[in-house]
Amino acid sequence: MDLHKEIYIPKPSPHDPDNNGHFGSVENGQVGFGGRFVPETLMPALEQLRLDYEAVRFDEDFWKEVDYYYKNYVGRPSSLYFAENISKELDAKVYLKREDLNHTGAHKINHCVAQAILAKRLGKKKIIAETGAGQHGVATATVAALFGLECEVFMGAKDVARQELNVFRMKLLGAKVHAVESGSKTLKDAMNDAIRHWVTHARDTYYLIGTVAGPHPYPMMVRDIQSIIGWEAKAQLDVVEGCLPDKVIACIGGGSNALGIFNHFLQDESVECIGIEAGGEGLDCKHGCSLEKGSPGVLHGQLSYLLQDEDGQVQEAHSISAGLDYPGIGPEHAFLKDENIVTYDHITDDEAMDAFVWLSQSEGIIPAFESSHAVAYLKKMKPEDVKGKTILVNLSGRGDKDMIQAQDILSDKFN
Ligand SMILES: *Cc1c(COP(=O)(O)O)cnc(C)c1O
């Protein structure tokens, strides 16, 4: 298969949710994860979006247009790189899927391009998005500029203050940034405000969600779009190794780069997919482990695992990497965890920083702090689980955005 010629079109997945967006069967009076937990006034807009997406989901014309921008604007297919030096060190074959080489430096541009093309086709004039640290906001502002759409980004006031550079990037790209002053002034409040804004503007506005979360159809749609990562990697690995990987590893914030690389391997019995949550300062301290330490609850219009206190108040997540500190997780991951289809584990801030330095100095590749969590897992696994194995790691993004923070944390080490 020549990936430079081939066009990616999603395929139905055995884990597709039902028409109400529930993953998994309805048992013992329990509903599946996902769904649409939004104000009644948003239901028509979401149902319309579900139908609009169903209409393009397997449509060659739509994906041809997406493919044009993937190849000419984003730089796809992204390379699958055999990491020689760490492979030698670990006595394994480690392949890195280089989403860090995409335009704007991460996998987020994939779903932004495809959703912006959908928005344009639906005749929308404006896109809105929420953002935590600003990475999704920047990717959204980028495609808004590309496709001539108006763009408004909702961001917690606290995040606006601590992520100055990304706020400037968004403004430079022509977007308007709303500093959200309610609640804890962070991501979850930005999400609430974006949903609230959409309620009254759904007619001409497309809400561009930045991960496999939110009300149906977003989790399925973003998963379909990001699955190009695993689709490419599977074909690329087949050319060089002629086999499937033994393990596929990815970090998890909301879960889009992970589902993107896992999706085409979930039916392969011999492949173990491993999702890595942010262990932060440790599991009895501050962290972002919604699956390992959370419980089912509603956030962002979906039922999924969630970090919450006894009263059901959403707790703030913590991770050294801004992209992983989301208190929830995409509902399909909640389903895959409960069904034992995917393995989930965590990596702490310190372990991630070690891996950040390790990959930089072993391969000359500076990973994003988020991606460093996936890389770190190569060292957390038992040596016998690594030795002689073919391991695919999703390098979701590059570390440029993390340089100032890295300099601060590592100043003792490199003075
Ligand atoms: C945003 C981000 C993530 C986390 O988002 P997912 O939806 O879990 O993929 C991971 N890596 C990078 C580089 C990011 O920017």
With b for 16 or more beta-carbon neighbours within 10 A and e for fewer, the 93-122 pattern comes to: bbbbbbbbbbbbbbbbbbbbbbbbbbbbee
Ligand 1 and 253: CB distance under 6 A: yes
- What pLDDT digit, counting tens, does each position of 320-372 carry? 998 898 889 999 999 999 999 999 999 999 999 999 999 999 999 999 999 99
Q: Decide: pTM greater than 0.95.
A: yes
Say whether 88 is catalytic: no
pLDDT on residue 28: 56
Q: What share of the chain is helix, strand, coil (3-state, %, to 5)?
A: 45, 20, 35
Asked if the model's pLDDT at residue 87 lies above 80, the reply is yes
3-state secondary structure of 49: helix
pLDDT at 26 over 70: no
Active site residue 227: no
Q: What does the DSSP 8-state code read for residue 5? A: T
State pLDDT tens for residues 273-290.
Answer: 999 999 999 999 999 999
Dist. CA 134 → ligand 1 center (Å)? 11
- Which whole-number Å values give the CA distances from 104 to 12, 73, 99, 108, 142, in the listed order? 29, 10, 10, 8, 8
Q: How many whole angstroms from 253 Cα to the centroid of ligand 1? A: 6
Distance in angstroms (rounded) separating the CA atoms of residues 242 and 258: 23
Residue 99, pLDDT score: 98
Q: pLDDT grade, residue 415 (50/70/90)?
A: confident
Average pLDDT, the chain: 95
Q: Whose CA is nearest to atom 13 of ligand 1?
A: 397
**What whole-number distance in Å separates Cα of residue 133 and Cα of residue 156?**
9
Gyration radius of the chain over CA positions: 20
Question: pLDDT at residue 25 above 80?
Answer: no
Atom of ligand 1 nearest to the CA of 253: 8
Region 32-61: mean pLDDT is 96
Q: Model confidence over 138-184: pLDDT tens digits?
A: 999 999 999 999 999 999 999 998 889 999 999 999 999 999 999 88
Assess whether the C-beta atom of 131 lies below 6 angstroms from ligand 1.
Answer: no
DSSP assignment letter at 279: E
pLDDT at 395 over 90: yes
Q: What mean pLDDT comes out for the span 126-130?
A: 97
Residue of 289, 370, 401 to test ligand 1 pocket, by largest number of atoms within 8 Å of CB: 370
What single-letter amino acid sits at 62? F
b/e per residue, 353-382, with b = 16+ CB within 10 A?
bbbbebbeebbebbbbbbbbbbbbbbbbbe
